Structure 1
């Protein structure tokens, strides 16, 4: 989960850079949409919604092929919900981070009967690193790009990271790069090129780990709750999502004693403000 959380973090911190790269043209005034579209829990690795002046850009980052609902159906599901809510053109980009030969990473369309829906697919191992090397916000993605000399590419990225003047930004980009490089490179090689310890000391790294734990705990709660009580109201979903990791773990144990939704409401009321 840390890889998906990291990509989500980068896309939301540098939305104009990601939009310009993926849309192939300079894009400014990009808004990050903090919205909840799920009517039921859907285990997608990372959903990032960016809004330009004329369209919605939906980014989906994947490390592995998910089990359960296939990606083409998930992409159609999100497209319908986004278009329904915003009534704007929706551009969808599915970004596969780790190289694999699974046929699923080459699918770019849902088709069933008279229904068809296409979306853009990017396999990072096929992408040129050059545009990514030109922007600090995209540097971490460059380590996953195509290269005849992969170690040489990592060295180039490390060199560019070292040129970032802001100490805070350099630490964050370095930490992000180290994390994503772990999908492709040996840990010792990464440590030889990046100052050891900077990743563990970085605030972003700790935030990524914490967000990953919270998402995992939230999924473990929402799946059985939905099976037992159906789709919860947006208000209840919001209250559950606001719980800490420790509180979510307590709820996982408590929910087996619930008879109906009122028990859940009472449990949440008892912990309001705790």
Structure 2
């Protein structure tokens, strides 16, 4: 959930993230993991942004993950295979404070091979570094600040000054979700206005009706349905790119799959070359489910 919100921000405000991480507001567009033949697809944490000269690989993590170093070198090699002339900048962004040593790992090393990547622990980043750009405002509540509530109020004030209604709504909704990592729901509701968030895709797709009963409660109630719907939308999008999926009946079958089945399909589709591959996969897995039941 939290990782996916960060992924949405990076995609929607790529220039802000480029200015923060690269030092220049270059135009970046989203690069599908399927273009690197990467498996498995981790829609909840990964985003690849690309320009003509470089690829910015971001991984958002709420919890420490021992697999991060291997994933970094894996993506780096796959990116090199597909785009040998592009620079690659890899950054792992940890959201929630922890004492785990895993969040300090910046190297993958085995005999004869060493690969380095960057790590940002948001709770160590000065608040002011994140308050300069709209797309980074939701991250400020997780930054190095002594008074989280005061920071949330400052963020809310800056959100109110945003001139584009859609941008204002999306930033407010993202802030409400991420603030749930460090603040109680009642505190968040005191500062962020529900009316401001209603037009946000985050509000509509993830929180849905549950947000009317409280931000955190709504997230917990809608997380399973929201995760399935989000995963299904991503898989359908990747299938359209991979094999030109244009069959409404097949798309409907895909949207009925469980989260685990969607994750399995997300990995398998990288090998698809024609729509028949999808049909065969669906029939095989439906038959397998019947046998198991």
For residues 27-64 of structure 1, the C-alpha deviation after alignment (integer angstroms, 9 at most, x for no partner) is 32322213413453254742111123421110111111
* Number of aligned positions between the proteins: 246
For residues 140-198 of structure 1, the C-alpha deviation after alignment (integer angstroms, 9 at most, x for no partner) is 11111110222211111111111112232212111111011111111111111111465
The 5 Å alignment of 1:222-237 reads 233-235=271-273
How far apart are residue 5 of structure 1 and its match? 1.4
2:183 paired residue among 174, 182, 185: 185
Match of 2:4 in 1: 5
Change (3 A) 1:237 1:194: farther
Inter-partner Cα distance in structure 2 for 1:153 and 1:238: 53
The 5 Å alignment of 1:1-274 reads 2-23=1-22, 25-36=23-34, 37-41=36-40, 43=42, 45-66=44-65, 70-87=67-84, 88-196=86-194, 198-199=196-197, 202-208=200-206, 212-214=227-229, 215=231, 220-221=260-261, 233-235=271-273, 254-257=287-290
Change (3 A) 1:94 1:194: same
Confirm or deny: 8 A CA contact 2:37 2:270 kept in the other structure.
no
Inter-partner Cα distance in structure 2 for 1:129 and 1:239: 49
* Unpaired segments ≥5 residues, structure 1: 259-274
Q: Secondary structure at the match of 2:130?
A: helix
Confirm or deny: 8 A CA contact 2:38 2:78 kept in the other structure.
no
RMSD: 3.3
How far apart are residue 13 of structure 1 and its match? 1.0
Change (3 A) 1:54 1:188: same
The worse-fitting range, judged by mean Cα deviation, of 146-155 and 117-126 is 146-155
Inter-partner Cα distance in structure 1 for 2:286 and 2:118: 41
The worse-fitting range, judged by mean Cα deviation, of 204-213 and 155-164 is 204-213
**TM-score, normalised to structure 1's length?**
0.77
Q: Secondary structure at the match of 1:98?
A: coil
* Unpaired segments ≥5 residues, structure 2: 208-224, 233-256
For residues 60-87 of structure 1, the C-alpha deviation after alignment (integer angstroms, 9 at most, x for no partner) is 1111134xx6110111111111111111
Inter-partner Cα distance in structure 1 for 2:264 and 2:25: 42
Confirm or deny: 8 A CA contact 1:55 1:90 kept in the other structure.
yes
Inter-partner Cα distance in structure 2 for 1:238 and 1:109: 42
Q: Secondary structure at the match of 1:133?
A: coil
